Amino acid sequence: MSSVVKSLRFAITRVPFILTRLPLVSRLNKMLKKHVIDRLTSGVRCPSAQRGCVGSAALLAFLLSLNPGPMLFGQAAKQTAPKSPVQAQPAEKPTPEEEESRALEEAVRSSEDNPQALARNLESFLTRFPASRRREQVLRFIYNSALQANDPRTAAESAEKLLDLTPNDPELLSSLVDLLDRQGDAASRAKGLQYATKFVEYAEREAPAPSKAGDDKSGDMPTLMRGLAYQARGKLYAKLGDTDKARADFEKSYALYPSGPLAERLGDLAAEKNDLDQAVREYATAFAFPGADPAEREEIRKKLGKCYVALHQSEKGLGDLTLARYDELVRSLAPRSKGSPEKNADLHDPFAYVLERTDGSPLRLADYRGKVVVMEFWATWCGPCRVEGKLFGRVEEKFRGNPEAVFLAVSVDEDRTGVTAFLKEEKWTTQVAFADGLDHLLAVRGIPTLVIFDRTGRVVFRLEGLDFDSFVETVDKRVREVLARPVQAVSK
């Protein structure tokens, strides 16, 4: 299973996969977060690309550590001068390893965390040192930098070069399918279809079809990956005009993991072929699917009504059809909902939440009503969070004697087993609790994210992403401003 987990890293990186809005990918995201390792080399998703989730310093340290070689010129400057006078010697010619390390250092530093400049500089580095032992890692950084810069062409080029080194990497295959699709021309999409087929073949090897009826594996990761691969290829078939093959792939994907968007796509294909009866069935499924977005449901309703009227000359009976389809879906999807209720379910007031501390004891946010509460959302696997956590602690120290200011580090880790060890290693002093759904209520879309509540319980400041140079000053200033405001009635 470890190989499958590694292969599925793409589901939670910043790859702009065309299917990321679909439930299948959402399901993969939840299952895979706790398994992701080596995020520095696979890319960490940050809420603000221009701030650079993996900064130049971290990137440089990692790349140089792959093949340190002799001491760099920056390190040599720190050496102690010799005690006895020695006649100056002409500078020695740098070794190939030193020359490469210096070139890499300059390529990274001169980019100043600009993803586009970083990609260009690293491409020049590989042109100069084509046989570098760091080639794969540098290519991966070019790839991730191009994604951050929303440059699909450069990202696709680097992904293809990486596939020359690791031809069976499904992460790259799935990403490249989307990147080539985004080129928008038939030739690129035809090439993308070839990679999509390789992705399907890999997924089928990892998750063969059930051996017998009733052998339900719809919840395991290999099966979800297979469904995603069919979906990706089906999308390209549809854009290239091969509707029969597109429909076949979409049906396979729906059978593995049903979703409203897939049903809508199947309805679109049926409508294109003027198969109104099939289109009505598919659109009814998409419309009735639990949890559909209201705006998207409205659009589906228009499609459904148009096809139904064309078939029956009126909408009489459409309501009964939709309700019946809804009842069928609720029954068939019931296994997905099994399990204990989520903590804090159906609560809409953050201060009604009860979180869990790392020692298992409850932390009632209601105890902090009337105070200024500063929350930092983070995770152990997030590199920038590790840095911002230290800065957060520095801000807290400034208010240590003020009981009106409360600081709380809120972990979004789904796998909680490593949190305590992380805190011990990092020596954090801020109190820590797990999010238990609070991140969803506050729409935390990326980490690190900091929010400040005033005494009435309103969010009055929000900071997404790490800004190392100004974080302490900015947060300190904002907390003092909120503390200085007149005390008003506290919301209940």
Tell me: the pLDDT tens digits for 332-357? 887 765 544 567 876 778 898 999 99
Task: Inform me whether the pLDDT recorded for 368 exceeds 60.
Answer: yes
pLDDT value for 468: 84
Burial of residue 118, with CB atoms counted within 10 A of its CB: 0-12 exposed, 13-18 middle, 19 or more buried: buried
Question: Which tokens sit at 310?
Answer: 């064309």
Residue 405 pairs in a beta bridge with 372
Question: Which tokens sit at 278?
Answer: 């099939």
Name the band, by pLDDT with cuts 50, 70 and 90, for residue 378: very high
Q: How far is CA 371 from each of CA 209, 453, 485, 488, rounded to the nearest angstrom?
A: 56, 8, 12, 11
Closest CA to 269 of 287, 249, 288: 249
The single residue listed with the structure tokens 């699709």 is 181
Three-state DSSP class for residue 175: helix
Convert the pLDDT of each residue in 165-210 to its tens digit.
988 888 788 889 988 998 889 999 999 999 999 999 998 887 665 5
pLDDT value for 490: 46
pLDDT value for 340: 44
Residue 115 identity (one-letter amino acid): P
pLDDT value for 237: 96
Closest CA to 176 of 155, 197, 190: 155
Homologous superfamily of domain range 350-484: Glutaredoxin (3.40.30.10)
How high is the mean pLDDT of the chain?
Answer: 79
CB atoms within 10 A of CB 166: 12
C-alpha to C-alpha distance for 107 and 225, rounded to whole angstroms: 37
The single residue listed with the structure tokens 């105890």 is 367
C-alpha to C-alpha distance for 481 and 97, rounded to whole angstroms: 52
C-alpha to C-alpha distance for 292 and 327, rounded to whole angstroms: 15
Contact status, residue 135 vs residue 126, Cβ threshold 8 Å: yes
Convert the pLDDT of each residue in 94-103 to its tens digit.
888 889 889 9
Which residues, 6 or more positions from 133, have their beta carbon under 8 angstroms from its beta carbon? 66, 67
Task: Inform me whether the pLDDT recorded for 310 exceeds 90.
Answer: yes
Convert the pLDDT of each residue in 220-275 to its tens digit.
677 888 888 999 999 999 999 999 999 999 999 999 889 899 999 999 999 999 99
pLDDT value for 491: 43
- Domain limits, the chain: 2-72+95-257, 350-484
Convert the pLDDT of each residue in 82-119 to its tens digit.
445 556 566 678 888 889 889 988 888 887 656 667 77
The single residue listed with the structure tokens 């009976």 is 317
Instruction: Tell me whether strands 432-434 and 449-453 are parallel, antiparallel or unpaired.
Output: unpaired
Evaluated on CA atoms 245, 248, 253, 259, the torsion sign reads positive
Contact status, residue 178 vs residue 16, Cβ threshold 8 Å: yes
Topology alike, domains 2-72+95-257 and 350-484 = no
pLDDT value for 125: 92
Cα atoms in the Cβ-side hemisphere of radius 13 Å centred on 46: 28
Task: Inform me whether the pLDDT recorded for 414 exceeds 60.
Answer: yes
Task: Inform me whether the pLDDT recorded for 158 exceeds 50.
Answer: yes
C-alpha to C-alpha distance for 230 and 201, rounded to whole angstroms: 10
Which contiguous run of DSSP H or E holds residue 168?
none
pLDDT value for 59: 59
C-alpha to C-alpha distance for 15 and 144, rounded to whole angstroms: 8
pLDDT value for 435: 93
Contact status, residue 195 vs residue 175, Cβ threshold 8 Å: no
Higher-scoring residue by pLDDT: 337, 477: 477
Topology of domain 2-72+95-257, CATH? 1.25.40
Task: Inform me whether the pLDDT recorded for 43 exceeds 90.
Answer: no
Task: Inform me whether the pLDDT recorded for 26 exceeds 60.
Answer: no
For the ranges 182-186, 208-212, 274-278, 279-283, the lowest mean pLDDT is seen at 208-212
